[in-house]
């Protein structure tokens, strides 16, 4: 009976054009868009000092002050590439600063330097140049300290690699919507009553839906693997089996969650939106949209994001891609198995309570 | 038209869920997205001070004063991993020297940081205040979290907020309410215009609430006069209303309206910077995004931020309003056409 149910589920799933498009194209679409859109950002290629310019205005400055000014500005120009340009109209220069045409304007008087910056739109490059200028003006610049600059021989974070794994994990979470819909449809079409009477029962139906979900998820992983290898040139590394195992556990969790929500939802839109919202939140907090390192650098968020299963999945996948099987992988495996079991237990408790209520109501009615 | 306005006013005024949708929900989404899309362009570095010298303290202090970079916590053991994973761009490591008081300094990086030379300069020139040349800098208010993080998402949310108006229009059409209203002599343009005006008014309240929340929570609008932000948002409200009035003439059931949000507005918004910062997108994506009104709205706001003048956003606002007028006229013409066919 179970085999028949599974066969029917697989047939229904893979003959539906919408489902097929979702399974085949969603990972490709997400990996492509995310990796292309954030390519420059992930490289931290912000153009911080691009076309950066600081204006200066001489006003009765002594030779000593001017000499000091040249030393400071030469050093800053060398370090940042920013140019220093003389102006003869201080007020116009201030207007130019407020219109983002220059980082700031330095008025050089016989008393010292007067730095004017915009109070509302000073860019990061401008902030850096200004604070450097103030520090150098206050420093003893004749005795520089010796510093050793060391370049680490490490792999650079790459958007193609990052989003191959994190966008695939995100699209797997979305698969829960298909499973939830499929389970809800059984209730809506009343076919669930027939299933209840059959040998397979509700458990068999749920298991067949979850297994179908796992099959769909595996297809998604294969599609993403082929796409990332052949088109993006991303090599999944030597821990492929571990990576696949993490993905299968994520698929299991997504399918279990989707099927349980499908069973307990009272209407279709609630069913869809619950899984969708949950997946979106997991994606946002798990680093599937915004890179994980950005979220980890936010003061409060760095703790909150740990509630997302995708956070642990993406952490584990990053380590595994680098060929490391560490505690992050083990945490991820335990969390995904634990969450799947927890969701199943909650569902069993709800259904048992529902059955008891139903029996007691029946008994009360017969009395 | 007055009756249509009065009627629509009553319908929306009675709906408590609607008030939640236009007042509380935008603020929640605004706060959530400001944290979840923290695309900062500040450079993250770490400082590991293992020296006990006074000079080391001065170096740490001067790095902390350096604006445009953010200092993240890191231990010596984590530094390599954090640079590899992108959490930080470089790390300044300060150790005690064997013979002198001057500490030994190493700067570890991936060799790709834009600010490495600036940080190196700051560290190598760090001394206690020794110069007698004073430097003064004009005061600026302390910046809060920027509204730009969530801007793309809020524009998407604002544009899809017209959904309820379209749902009401479709409902009235399907229940033949619209026919009865038109039989009373009301013209289609008055019927649609009246409902749109009321809805626009409520949407504008939502925008004001969003703007006030930003002000109260000390968000950084990056503008000399942040009122310009609200003005541009109002044009987004107008576009949303006319877009959904137009959409209501295309669909038969209200259920189909979500299709427009998911398959038309969301992909358009993706190219206009709803989830990723537009300025870092590849040129091809930017060119596609520039064709969409979501980008015009965001561009209008960026123009005010960059130039400091509200006037610089006028071309973008005019484009948005022009498109809104066009969509509204098409919607009215389509509705009139359908009505004539029925007659």
Q: Which domains, and CATH codes, for chain A?
A: 2-39+158-357 (no CATH), 53-138 (3.40.190.10)
- Section B124-136 average pLDDT: 75
Closest Cβ opposite residue B35 in set A47, A128, A298 = A298
**Domain co-membership, B106 together with B153:** no
User: In angstroms, what is the C-alpha Rg of chain B?
Assistant: 27
**Domain co-membership, B300 together with B257:** yes
Within a 10 A sphere around the Cβ of B331, how many other Cβ atoms?
Answer: 25
Examine the fold and report which residue of B93, B124, B155 is the final residue of a domain before the chain moves on. Answer: B124
List A residues 116-135 in contact with B (Cβ-Cβ < 8 A): 116-122, 124-128, 130-135
Residue A153 token pair: 């021989």
Phi, psi of B73 (to 5 degrees): -70, 135
> Can you give the pLDDT at residue A291?
87
> Can you give the pLDDT at residue A143?
65
Total domains present in chain B: 2
Is residue B195 less than 8 Å (CB to CB) from chain A? no
Whether pLDDT at B129 is above 60: no
**Domain co-membership, B19 together with B78:** no
- For A42, the closest chain B residue by CA position comes to B86
Say if CB A251 and CB A336 are below 8 A apart.
Answer: no
**Domain co-membership, B193 together with B304:** yes
Query: Considering the domain boundaries, does residue B283 fall inside one?
Result: yes
Query: Considering the domain boundaries, does residue B132 fall inside one?
Result: no
Closest Cβ opposite residue A152 in set B109, B141, B305 = B109
**Domain co-membership, B177 together with B240:** yes
- For B139, the closest chain A residue by CA position comes to A119
Say if CB A103 and CB A97 are below 8 A apart.
Answer: yes
pLDDT tens, position by position, B62-79: 899 999 899 988 888 888
> Which sign, positive or negative, has the C-alpha torsion A342, A347, A350, A353?
negative
Strands across the sheet with B90-95, in order?
A147-151, B104-109, B90-95, B43-49, B69-72
Give Cα separations from A59 to A67, A71, A110 (angstroms).
14, 18, 7
Query: Considering the domain boundaries, does residue B319 fall inside one?
Result: yes
Closest Cβ opposite residue A131 in set B65, B110, B222 = B65
Is residue B6 very low, low, confident or very high in pLDDT (cuts 50, 70, 90)?
confident
- For A32, the closest chain B residue by CA position comes to B285
Listed residue (A86, A213, B98, A225) closest to A102, CA to CA: A86
Q: Name the helix (H) or strand (E) containing B108.
A: strand B104-109
Examine the fold and report which residue of B76, B95, B124 is the final residue of a domain before the chain moves on. Answer: B124
Contacts of A295 in chain B (CB under 8 A): 36, 38
Query: Considering the domain boundaries, does residue B136 fall inside one?
Result: no
- For A61, the closest chain B residue by CA position comes to B133
Closest Cβ opposite residue A144 in set B42, B125, B309 = B125
Give Cα separations from A26 to A31, A224, B17 (angstroms).
8, 10, 33
Query: In a 10 Å sphere around its CB, with 0-12 CB exposed, 13-18 middle and 19+ buried, how is residue A53 labelled?
Result: middle
Closest Cβ opposite residue B108 in set A122, A150, A156 = A150
How far from each other are the two terminal CA atoms of chain B, in whole angstroms? 22
**Domain co-membership, B226 together with B202:** yes
Smallest Cα distance from A215 to chain B, Å: 26
If phi over 0 gives left and psi between -120 and 50 gives alpha, with beta otherwise, what is residue A112?
left
Altogether, the residues listed in chain A come to a count of 367
According to DSSP, the β-strands at B43-49 and A147-151 are unpaired
CATH number of the domain where residue B69 is located: 3.40.1710.10
Smallest Cα distance from B226 to chain A, Å: 10
According to DSSP, the β-strands at A53-58 and A104-108 are parallel
CA atoms within 13 A on the CB side of A55: 22
Is residue A96 less than 8 Å (CB to CB) from chain B? no
Examine the fold and report which residue of B90, B124, B158 is the final residue of a domain before the chain moves on. Answer: B124
**Domain co-membership, B21 together with B157:** yes
CA atoms within 13 A on the CB side of A360: 6
**Domain co-membership, B282 together with B312:** yes
Contacts of A38 in chain B (CB under 8 A): 276, 280
pLDDT tens, position by position, B55-66: 888 889 989 999
Pairs of residues, one from chain A and one from chain B, whose beta carbons lie less than 8 Å apart: 245
Within a 10 A sphere around the Cβ of B284, how many other Cβ atoms?
Answer: 10
Whether pLDDT at B20 is above 80: no
Residue with tokens 């966008």: A167
If phi over 0 gives left and psi between -120 and 50 gives alpha, with beta otherwise, what is residue B259?
alpha
- Asked whether the whole model's pTM tops 0.95, one would answer no
CB contact (8 A) between residue B104 and residue A80: no
Contacts of B308 in chain A (CB under 8 A): 98-100, 118, 120-121
Listed residue (B288, B161, B305, B146) closest to B232, CA to CA: B305
**Domain co-membership, B155 together with B211:** yes
Whether pLDDT at B80 is above 90: no
Say if CB A239 and CB A323 are below 8 A apart.
Answer: yes
Closest Cβ opposite residue B102 in set A40, A145, A148 = A145
Is residue B253 less than 8 Å (CB to CB) from chain A? no
Query: Considering the domain boundaries, does residue B221 fall inside one?
Result: yes
Is residue B208 very low, low, confident or very high in pLDDT (cuts 50, 70, 90)?
very high
Contacts of B134 in chain A (CB under 8 A): 111-113
Q: How far is the C-alpha of B122 from the C-alpha of B269, rounded, in Å?
A: 41
State chain B's mean pLDDT as an integer.
86
> Can you give the pLDDT at residue A166?
94
> Can you give the pLDDT at residue A20?
85
Optimal mutation site among B45, B125, B254, B307, interface A, most CBs of chain A within 10 A:
B125
Number of H helices, E strands in chain A: 15, 5
Does residue A56 sit in helix, strand or coil?
Answer: strand
- For A106, the closest chain B residue by CA position comes to B137
Query: Considering the domain boundaries, does residue B297 fall inside one?
Result: yes
Query: Considering the domain boundaries, does residue B103 fall inside one?
Result: yes
Whether pLDDT at B302 is above 60: yes
> Can you give the pLDDT at residue A356?
73
Q: How far is the C-alpha of B341 from the C-alpha of B343, rounded, in Å?
A: 5
* Domain limits for position B234: 2-38+145-342
Q: How far is the C-alpha of A153 from the C-alpha of A168, rounded, in Å?
A: 28
Q: How far is the C-alpha of A122 from the C-alpha of B207, rounded, in Å?
A: 26
Is residue A297 less than 8 Å (CB to CB) from chain B? yes
If phi over 0 gives left and psi between -120 and 50 gives alpha, with beta otherwise, what is residue A122?
beta
Contacts of B124 in chain A (CB under 8 A): 144-147
Smallest Cα distance from A170 to chain B, Å: 14
Lowest mean pLDDT among A290-304, B103-117, B318-332: A290-304
Residue with tokens 């994990």: A169
Optimal mutation site among A147, A289, A323, interface B, most CBs of chain B within 10 A:
A147
**Domain co-membership, B232 together with B253:** yes
Smallest Cα distance from B285 to chain A, Å: 8
Q: How far is the C-alpha of A326 from the C-alpha of B217, rounded, in Å?
A: 41
- Section B194-216 average pLDDT: 91
Within a 10 A sphere around the Cβ of A319, how many other Cβ atoms?
Answer: 20
Is residue A65 less than 8 Å (CB to CB) from chain B? yes
Contacts of B122 in chain A (CB under 8 A): 132, 135
Contacts of B163 in chain A (CB under 8 A): none
Contacts of B121 in chain A (CB under 8 A): 75-76, 78-79, 132, 136
Query: Considering the domain boundaries, does residue B299 fall inside one?
Result: yes
Q: What is the ipTM of this complex?
A: 0.83
Q: Name the helix (H) or strand (E) containing B47.
A: strand B43-49
- For A37, the closest chain B residue by CA position comes to B281
Q: How far is the C-alpha of B68 from the C-alpha of B45, rounded, in Å?
A: 11
Listed residue (A145, A118, A281) closest to B222, CA to CA: A118
Is residue B86 very low, low, confident or very high in pLDDT (cuts 50, 70, 90)?
confident
Q: How far is the C-alpha of A170 from the C-alpha of A317, rounded, in Å?
A: 13
Say if CB B210 and CB B30 are below 8 A apart.
Answer: yes
> Can you give the pLDDT at residue B325?
96
Residue with tokens 């000593």: A64
Does residue A187 sit in helix, strand or coil?
Answer: helix
Contacts of A238 (CB under 8 A, 6+ apart): A323
**Domain co-membership, B198 together with B335:** yes
DSSP line for A102-125: SSEEEEE-SS-EEEEE-SS---HH
**Domain co-membership, B101 together with B228:** no
Q: How far is the C-alpha of B173 from the C-alpha of A285, rounded, in Å?
A: 42
- Section B38-49 average pLDDT: 87
Report mean pLDDT in 10-residue bins for chain A, 367 residues.
79 82 88 88 83 92 90 94 94 93 94 92 93 87 76 78 94 90 82 73 84 92 95 90 96 94 82 84 89 84 91 92 89 96 89 72 70
Is residue B41 less than 8 Å (CB to CB) from chain A? yes
Listed residue (B122, B11, B140, B154) closest to A117, CA to CA: B140
Residue with tokens 């604002």: B158
Is residue B288 very low, low, confident or very high in pLDDT (cuts 50, 70, 90)?
very high
């Amino acid at each position: 009976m179970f085999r028949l149910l599974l066969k029917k589920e697989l047939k229904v799933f893979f003959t539906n054009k919408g489902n097929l498009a979702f399974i085949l194209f969603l990972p490709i679409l997400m990996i492509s868009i995310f990796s292309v859109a954030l390519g420059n950002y992930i490289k931290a290629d912000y153009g911080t000092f691009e076309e950066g310019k600081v204006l200066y205005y001489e006003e009765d400055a002594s030779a000593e002050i001017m000499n000091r000014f040249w030393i400071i500005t030469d050093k800053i120009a060398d370090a940042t590439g920013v140019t220093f340009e003389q102006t003869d109209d201080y007020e116009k220069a201030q207007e130019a600063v407020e219109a983002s045409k220059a980082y700031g304007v330095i008025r050089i008087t016989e008393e010292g330097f007067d730095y004017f910056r915009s109070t509302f739109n000073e860019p990061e490059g401008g902030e850096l140049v200004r604070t450097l200028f103030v520090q150098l003006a206050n420093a003893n610049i004749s005795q520089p300290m010796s510093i050793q600059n060391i370049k680490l021989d490490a792999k650079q974070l790459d958007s193609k690699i990052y989003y191959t794994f994190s966008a695939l994990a995100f699209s797997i979470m979305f698969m829960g919507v298909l499973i939830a819909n499929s389970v809800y449809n059984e209730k809506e079409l009343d076919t669930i009553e027939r299933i209840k009477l059959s040998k397979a029962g509700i458990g068999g139906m749920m298991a067949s839906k979850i297994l179908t979900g796992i099959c769909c998820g595996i297809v998604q992983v294969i599609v993403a693997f082929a796409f990332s290898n052949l088109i993006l040139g991303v090599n999944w590394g030597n821990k492929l089996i571990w990576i696949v195992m993490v993905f299968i556990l994520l698929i299991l969790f997504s399918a279990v969650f989707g099927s349980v929500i499908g069973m307990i939802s009272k209407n279709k839109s609630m069913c869809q939106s619950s899984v969708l919202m949950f997946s979106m939140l997991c994606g946002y907090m798990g680093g599937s949209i915004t890179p994980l390192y950005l979220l980890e650098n936010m003061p409060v968020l760095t703790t909150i994001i740990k509630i997302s299963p995708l956070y642990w999945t993406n952490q584990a996948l990053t380590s595994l891609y680098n060929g490391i099987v560490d505690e992050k992988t083990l945490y991820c495996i335990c969390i995904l198995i634990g969450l799947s079991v927890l969701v199943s237990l909650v569902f069993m408790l709800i259904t048992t309570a529902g059955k008891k209520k139903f029996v007691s109501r029946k008994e009360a009615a017969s009395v | 038209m007055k009756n249509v306005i009065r009627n629509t006013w009553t319908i929306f005024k009675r709906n408590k869920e609607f008030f939640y949708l236009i007042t509380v929900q935008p603020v929640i989404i605004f706060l959530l997205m400001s944290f979840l899309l923290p695309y900062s362009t500040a450079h993250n570095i770490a400082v590991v001070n293992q020296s006990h010298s006074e000079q080391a303290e001065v170096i740490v202090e001067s790095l902390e004063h350096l604006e445009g970079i953010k200092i993240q916590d890191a231990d010596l053991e984590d530094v390599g991993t954090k640079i590899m994973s992108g959490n930080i761009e470089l790390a300044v490591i300060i150790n005690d020297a064997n013979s002198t008081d001057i500490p030994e300094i190493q700067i570890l990086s991936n060799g790709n940081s834009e600010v490495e030379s600036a940080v190196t300069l700051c560290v190598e020139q760090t001394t206690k205040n020794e110069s007698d040349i004073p430097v003064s800098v004009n005061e600026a208010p302390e910046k809060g979290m920027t509204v730009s993080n969530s801007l793309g998402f809020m524009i998407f949310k604002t544009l899809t907020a017209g959904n309820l108006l379209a749902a009401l229009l479709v409902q009235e059409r399907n229940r033949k309410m619209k026919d009865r209203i038109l039989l009373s002599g009301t013209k289609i343009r008055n019927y649609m215009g009246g409902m749109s005006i009321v809805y626009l008014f409520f949407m504008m309240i939502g925008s004001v609430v969003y703007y006030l929340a930003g002000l109260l929570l000390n968000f950084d609008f990056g503008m000399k006069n942040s009122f310009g932000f609200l003005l541009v948002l109002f044009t987004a409200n107008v576009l949303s209303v006319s877009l959904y009035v137009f959409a209501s003439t295309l669909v038969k059931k209200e259920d189909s309206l979500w299709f427009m949000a998911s398959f038309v507005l969301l992909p358009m918004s993706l190219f206009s910077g709803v989830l990723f910062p537009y300025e870092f997108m590849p040129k091809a994506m930017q060119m596609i995004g520039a064709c969409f009104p979501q980008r015009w709205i965001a561009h209008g706001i960026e123009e005010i931020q960059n130039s400091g003048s509200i006037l610089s956003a006028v071309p973008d606002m005019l484009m948005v309003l022009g498109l809104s007028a066009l969509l509204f006229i098409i919607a009215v013409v389509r509705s009139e056409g359908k009505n004539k066919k029925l007659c």
